[in-house]
Structure 1
Amino acid sequence: MVSDSKGCDNRNHTRIRVLTYLMFFMFAMTSDAVGVIIPELISQFGLSMSQASAFHYMPMIFIAMSGLFLGFLADKIGRKLTILLGLLLFALACFMFALGESFYYFLFLLAFVGTAIGVFKTGALGLIGDISTSSKQHSSTMNTVEGYFGVGAMIGPAIVSYLLISGVSWKYLYFGAGCFCLVLCWLAYRADYPQIKRSSTDAINLSSTFKMMKNPYALGFSLAIGLYVATEVAIYVWMPTLLQSYQGDYTTLAAYALTIFFTLRAGGRFLGGRVLDRFPWQQVMFWFSFAISACYLGSMIYGIEAAVVLLPLSGLFMSMMYPTLNSKGISCFPVDQHGSVAGGILFFTAVSAAVGPLLMGLVGDIFGHVKYGFYLATGFAILLCLLSGFNLVKDPARHLLTAEAH
């Protein structure tokens, strides 16, 4: 009987993992396709680059707000209801793209999409903690989840490119995502979720989320994640602009630089669990952040000829940074608080994803070239390396990540 019970739990956990992988895949398909949609918007509506860039910033801002202000729902009403609510809102917003043609209408829907993503993503992140038996397994699952996100980040832009070449509106990407989301709603409804025991009698509400975000471990991991995200987003937002006038010996490599970056990032995440099984996560974070900063420094010192190679290569070293830092930050807290802390970390993630490229653009405008924005991104990478070095030497969260030692 015990064996049958364990077998049933394992099957349920496998279904939940697959559901989570598919949710992140769908999220990436829409969010990372924005870069391909923006030139079409500029042409269609006669927008400036700063106006069109709102297509990137708008959902990020509302993901941040949703994570911070609604993240507690995953702990208060349960993972299942939270995920279903987020997915249904996402599907509704996607289908509504077919009902309008105004740029500002689309921005409103992207705010809707960002809010929905913040809801179902915090529910999914809390769910990963529910089915993980140790901090190490949590990190391994997070790397696989982000691997599927990486695949979605490649497929979404490819779908939009194919639609545009075929003379079909980019809005069909959202229609397809809406249909896919309804399938995920059915899977989420049918799945059996583990019961979570409360470790605290404190009320679960917005106040508890703000109280939690004052925790030094939540702030420390959020700072590290913010620096990492600003470093990563610099690549897929501004690297195409940096390389667009390149005429050297590696023109083919420059043309596919962003695809190479996404491929290395996704592939590295699928291998992340094996790497973390062999080496302590503190060492992995330090040496990978050191390699990222070296790629940036080499690009800035040796110029665009080096950047063509080194910036896409940085995707391999970036692959495990976000899911591992995210996992360890969440694992510092009891399981019944994972939704709230995931929402807080998601807030810093999305704010950094929105503000980092904006600051790079401002610096580039002030000094007259996008390469000066990459000097700022290099600073982010170096700060991340220094923070990882501190974590390697001091290991401040060791006593909270007790499961890591088992």
Structure 2
Amino acid sequence: MTGLFATAAILSAAYAVFAILLNSVGTVILQSIVYFRVDNVTASTLEAFKDLTIAVVSFIIAAQLPRFGLKRSMLAALAIAGAGCVLVPLADVFWATQAMFFCTGFGFALMKVSVYSAVGLLSDSTATHARLLGIIEAVFMTAVVASAWIFAYFIDPTDAASSSWLDTYWLLAALCLVAGLLVAVMQIDESRLAEEAEGKPASVAFREMIALVVLRVTQIFVVGVFLYVFIEQGLGTWLPTINHQMLGLDGQIAVQAASAFALAIAAGRFCAGLVVTRVGWFALLMGCFVGMALILGVVPSMAAAVDGRQVTNWGDVPFVTFVLPAIGFFMAPIYPTLNSVVLSSIPPAKQAGLIGLIVVFSALGGTAGSRMVAELFSAIPSADVLYSLLLPIILLAAATVWLRRLAQA
């Protein structure tokens, strides 16, 4: 048990580094607008550099990672991400942030497939799989909260032209190094994957991954993943900008307040673990969809009542600033629950391929969600844009119902 705990802790730490990097995109979008003076649509390309890279890399190499080795893949992921972090403060130009998110996306594709595959090796039951994955994802979201506060610490609220926020990346490069050292000493038995990958041509492994696409349960599952990430990234990426442009919060408070979204997700995942065995995963998720829809239904009218004055201290922050992030509490159980239900039903040797598909459609959903919100913000510069996210919630609920029927067949 001690060995399992240590391994899970190291996996969580390595994965958490990417939580800080990936989920800084909302903060970096805001800083790019005020520091590099790019427009909203140009700033939204950062999401594409991150997510499209994740999608392409996952699709091409996910099925090959068992052959290369999970541990080596994690080390490569941290090295690539660390190099991207070093580039940003050295170059001090907008394209460097694009390059950094490219490196982060590349590294995350390697890291997520490796971590999820490692959970499969460490688990001997669906319950163990769900518990380990839930813990790792909860730590991930806790790191997302930390991300906002780490960046906010380096942002100078009195000078938009200050380059002090770029110093954040020296700290992040150091975290990549520390996580790499931890992974280097981590003990994990990959023999099962190595034996099954041995003698199997790379083309066969790739075809096996593609073969999963024809399964109806896989199709509905990846659609559900796409829709969930569409909603999460559409909200999470642009929440600092919503706080700044629509609620009048200054840059530092806007970023700090946005961390409430990730904190709500972390809290929701911890709480879901306590109730899912009592109410069942399906009833839990249906209740979550209702909660999400209710929050999106009331926030626009609350935001419209804000007087628009510049908010420079926490005492003047409007209440609606905390209502919208609360949607994260209801979103929290959806992603890890759907993942555990499907992944625990297939052999570990085939999980890397399915995880690759999960990462691909997660990345595509993130890019689509962020891009759609960016375009809608330009066309509808008010909180009414949030009503557009009700449609993917309805579709996600329908996909969950369908997935349950297939699982019971």
TM-score under structure 2 normalisation? 0.84
Aligned to 1:148: 139
Q: CA deviation at 1:278?
A: 2.6
Amino acid in the other structure paired with 1:311: L
Amino acid in the other structure paired with 2:181: W
Shift in alpha-carbon separation, 1:184–1:323, aligned structure 2, 3 A? same
Shift in alpha-carbon separation, 1:110–1:242, aligned structure 2, 3 A? closer
Aligned to 1:196: 192
Q: CA deviation at 1:302?
A: 7.6
Write the mapping of 1:30-49 to structure 2, written as runs, cut at 5 A. 30-49=21-40
Asked if 1:340 is matched to 2:353, the reply is: yes
Q: What secondary structure sits across from 1:165 in the alignment?
A: coil
Shift in alpha-carbon separation, 1:14–1:209, aligned structure 2, 3 A? same
Aligned to 1:181: 176
Q: CA deviation at 1:85?
A: 1.9
Say which of 74, 80, 89 aligns to 2:65: 74
Q: Could you list the per-position Cα deviations for residues 150-206 of structure 1 after superposition, in whole angstroms to 9, with x for gaps in the alignment?
A: 111111121111112396633332222222222222221212212325669864543
Say which of 382, 388, 400 aligns to 1:388: 400
Q: CA deviation at 1:357?
A: 2.2
Shift in alpha-carbon separation, 1:203–1:329, aligned structure 2, 3 A? farther
* Counterpart-to-counterpart distance in 2, 1:255 and 1:148: 20
Aligned to 1:113: 104
Aligned to 2:407: 397
Shift in alpha-carbon separation, 1:30–1:255, aligned structure 2, 3 A? closer
* Counterpart-to-counterpart distance in 2, 1:20 and 1:229: 22
Shift in alpha-carbon separation, 1:117–1:259, aligned structure 2, 3 A? closer
* Counterpart-to-counterpart distance in 1, 2:348 and 2:385: 40
Unmatched 5+ stretches in structure 2: 306-318
Equivalenced residues, count: 382
* Counterpart-to-counterpart distance in 2, 1:107 and 1:364: 21
Q: CA deviation at 1:261?
A: 2.4
* Counterpart-to-counterpart distance in 2, 1:122 and 1:282: 26
Paired residues of 1:298 and 1:310 also in contact (CA < 8 A): no
Asked if 1:313 is matched to 2:316, the reply is: no
Aligned to 2:338: 325
* Counterpart-to-counterpart distance in 2, 1:254 and 1:113: 24
Amino acid in the other structure paired with 1:193: I
Paired residues of 2:7 and 2:186 also in contact (CA < 8 A): yes
Amino acid in the other structure paired with 1:75: P
Unmatched 5+ stretches in structure 1: 1-9, 248-252, 400-406
Paired residues of 2:11 and 2:136 also in contact (CA < 8 A): yes
Q: Could you list the per-position Cα deviations for residues 76-123 of structure 1 after superposition, in whole angstroms to 9, with x for gaps in the alignment?
A: 222122222222222222223343233223312321221111112111
Paired residues of 1:364 and 1:370 also in contact (CA < 8 A): yes
- Structure 1 consecutive aligned stretches of length 4 or more whose deviation exceeds 6 Å: 253-256
Aligned to 2:386: 374
Shift in alpha-carbon separation, 1:174–1:206, aligned structure 2, 3 A? farther
Q: What secondary structure sits across from 2:192 in the alignment?
A: coil
Q: CA deviation at 1:286?
A: 2.0
Q: CA deviation at 1:301?
A: 7.7
Tell me whether 71-80 or 122-131 shows the greater mean CA deviation: 71-80
Paired residues of 1:231 and 1:378 also in contact (CA < 8 A): no
Q: CA deviation at 1:345?
A: 0.4
Aligned to 2:267: 267
* Counterpart-to-counterpart distance in 2, 1:101 and 1:11: 44
* Counterpart-to-counterpart distance in 2, 1:202 and 1:397: 30
Paired residues of 2:52 and 2:367 also in contact (CA < 8 A): yes
